[in-house]
Chains A and B, each alone.
Chain A
Amino acid sequence: MMKQVNILFKKEMLDAYRDKRSVMAGLYYAFGAPIVMCLLFSVLLQQMASPEALKITISGAERAPNLVQYLDSVDISHSDEADTKPIRLEIDDAYPQDMATGRSATVVIVADKSDSKLIKSVRRLETALLRYNSEVAGLRLVARGIDPGLMRALDVQTQDQATPDAKGGLFLGIVTLSIIIAVFYSAMNLGIDTSAGERERNSLALLLSHPLSSMQIVLAKVAAIATFSVLGLALVLIVSKFAYAMVAWEQLGFSITLDLRFIVVSLIIGIPIALMSASMLIFVSFMAKSFKEAQSYVTMVLMVPVGLSMMTSYDIATETIQWLPIAAQQYAMIELIKGNALPLAPLAVASVSTLALFGLFTYLSSRMLKSEKVVFGL
């Protein structure tokens, strides 16, 4: 029996290989996604960073020369040029009087805080003003013979257990999401073609007329599709490794490093997903009546794994979700990048249930192939 499946598998692989368009469509994703992501991230990081020299509008600067001088020393200065950020710092008329007499001197920041391109610069200005505030306040105490340490009633120390590799947060989720999705997308066209396509070309009936069980046919097709999925996964992993290494994460205080260990483990935990995805593609394609219909069904059904993966990426309801297929594997990948221990229990449960789904879809597909309605798309 295995021999026949093997021969059939080879035939499917040859078929797939000859269908250059489906193969390329799948591999485009594996190649393109990390590169597009990498470019997007680079642009995003640039937007999030505050420029080295922050230029703003300062009105009433002559009333607070020491403050203006301080801001200048931390590269925040007044400018009338075109590259000035739309942030205005207004120094109150009473500033000198208030400062000299020990009252709070008012400065007003005018800016649109919903502008995400501006937020980092606004925060930088706020932080600088807070620092100046505590510097002057501290010196006021020193001038009165009081230890300025008194203002720190609590000495709050944070011990962050994260490594620089673990601080990627949402970025880690998006990176792993794009990798997991590759398993589904890199063989999607192939899956539809080898089932719904074969039926439309009338070669499915021919295949069934051979002395083969429908289970053998389904298994061979699943194996071929899964092989392409794993190839796509391997490709996306390798491209990601190099693409993400080029993003200047370190400017935000973290890094995302995909090492060899990550690639190997991801490939291993990706195999059950590839089998499940392949069997699901075939099942859904046979359910449809035509090639076109199969395409829209598959796109809809793929929303489920993508959704699971998105929920992991955005950290929604992780406690429950992390035991489900796809989500568990992705969670494991995130932990691996962070340098934490693999969550073995959820990973094992999810891998078993992923394989169970593969069994179920394969069984259902082979049952369907016994029905004339399915075979002739009636």
Chain B
Amino acid sequence: MTNNRGRIRTLFRHSFIALGLLSAFASYATTPETAELTPCYTKGLPDRLMCGSVEQPLSAKDNNEKISIHFAVIPAIKQVHPSEAILAFAGGPGQSAIEVAAVFARVLRYAREDRDIILVDQRGTGKSTLLQCDMDPLEAQFAFNDDALPIFEYSRAETQKCKTKLNTNLSHFTTVAAASDFEAVRLALGYQKLHLFGASYGTRIAQEYMRRYPQAVASATLDGVVPMQQSLVAIGEAIDDSLQAIFTDCADTTDCSQQYPQLEQQYQTLLTKLEVQPASVQIPHPRTHRSISLVLTQNKVRSAIRMALYSHTTRALVPLAISEANRENYLPLVGLMGSDTAFGSLAMGMHSAIVCGEDWPALTAEERARFSATYFGRMMIESLDASCPIWQVDAVEKSFYQPLTTEIPTLLLSGGLDPATPPEWAELAMVNMEHARHLIAAEATHGVAAQSCADKLVAEFIDHGELKTLDASCLDKTAVRRYFMNPNGPVLVKEEP
């Protein structure tokens, strides 16, 4: 109410002359929000956003402690549907939606033409009580021999350190706890209907929101789908498949198979060699160029290659990096490790809250055995077994793992090369969805809307709510890059004498 008065005061200042008529159209000019909004900006996006926050109880049980949930609204270019907005959920878990506003503005640029986009920093991320653990500087990460200790020991020590730093009960930061924050933001902004757009982990919170507040949702787009009944720990297989696709592809291409023969074996040789004895070398720092030491272990190689699988541009370097590392030139791998800042921006405390509350406690013995068949599955289970008992996050209710039953029109997007959420996951998620369509971009990686024409399809779907009429043929268009044949580019020719 007070805020409404503030609005009218602003109007007063702007239209001094129209004073007498003011009361007659004040209600018309007032947008439906009741939250106090101030202009703000985020990195990489020149547009003026409107930022605000709502106070929410920290705990569902006692209302004493409050948490500020911060949000930003990217205004529609032409406000055609003032009662509707697009609510975009960030991934991770642990990513700040507001920090990546530029990405959402690009991916949803067609949808934004006539609707606002709401970005909320989920509790524990960004401005909403960031739960971040201390990260070692790059030099220390490079020099550290992560093979010297079992991952279990290492993870336990790290977790204990972070728990002391954060000193908070992570049970307040789970998906279920966060869903009501998003609803509070919707009510504060006065939108009647939302179109959800979730990417990666964002699809899980989107599904939870749909389950709890179906009346507020007009449509949902899930890009890189995490089914409710699936643990994130299952990711190992997708990573292996996505890398395998490069090996197969390289073997099938004349240039690549000529330049990097038997790439898969080369990779295995490299890993085996490092498993026996990690390589210890001096390399120039990726930014300062000062000489620093690098202990290259099997785990570091696997992690660098894993991160490279996410984008077509870095995928182009994978054969070169493996082949060079086999010849003991580790610089291409260092390049892939050095540009690995994606995890730096994840709120690891909040990440742990989600994973320990939702992905770890319900793992059955059968699942543990199945997921441990892959390297990353094994690593994750080991590290969660170490950290989760320390964090002591309350396990989520069993009903949380039920696949979402809904009538809301839902568009599911998957990339055939996705190293995180493969197309099978989307099929699992949609078993009980009445109006759902699953589109697969065969050659896309993680996040289909950002790397194909799906951005247009999403806008069309939001505008018409119609799934059947979407023409998905454009998803066949490839964004794949050719592999680098040498450090200069994808062209294979003899070097100048």
Contacts and interface: CB of A to CB of B under 8 A. Distances in A.
Interface of A: 65-66, 69-70, 72-73, 95-97, 99-102, 135-136, 138-150, 157-164, 249-251, 253-255, 257, 259-261, 264-265, 268-269, 336, 340-342, 344, 347
Nearest to B482: A66
Most chain-A Cβ atoms within 10 A of its Cβ — which of B29, B113, B317, B492? B113
B284 A145 contact: yes
24 contacts: A66-B489, A66-B491, A96-B493, A99-B488, A139-B314, A139-B317, A142-B317, A143-B317, A145-B283, A145-B332, A146-B286, A146-B289, A146-B338, A147-B335, A147-B339, A159-B41, A159-B48, A160-B48, A250-B114, A255-B78, A264-B18, A336-B14, A340-B14, A341-B13
Interface stretch (B91-99, B349-357, B473-481): B473-481
B220 interface: no
B338 A161 contact: no
B365 interface: no
Contacts of B287: 146-147, 149-150
Interface in B448-497: 477-482, 484-493, 495-496
A74 to B, nearest CB: 9
Given A66-B490, A255-B77, A142 B29 contact: no
Given A96-B493, A143-B317, A159-B48, A264 B335 contact: no
Contact of A70 (B114, B338, B481): B481
Interface residues of B, number: 63
Nearest to A64: B491
B17 A139 contact: no
A147 B286 contact: yes
A234 to B, nearest CB: 14
A326 B86 CA distance: 42
B95 to A, nearest CB: 19
A328 B11 CA distance: 21
Contact of B15 (A141, A159, A257, A342): A342
Contacts of A65: 482, 490
5 tightest Cβ-Cβ pairs between the two chains A and B: A145-B331, A142-B335, A255-B78, A145-B334, A143-B487
Contacts of B477: 72-73
B28 A140 contact: no
Given A96-B491, A99-B489, A342-B15, A143 B332 contact: yes
Interface of B: 11, 13-18, 21, 25, 28-29, 39, 41, 43-44, 46-48, 75-79, 113-114, 283-284, 286-287, 289, 313-314, 316-317, 320-321, 330-336, 338-339, 477-482, 484-493, 495-496
B15 A100 contact: no
B77 A100 contact: no
Nearest to A255: B78
Contact of B488 (A100, A149, A257, A265): A100
A147 B338 contact: yes
A164 B105 CA distance: 14
A99 B21 CA distance: 68
A102 B70 CA distance: 47
B484 A139 contact: yes
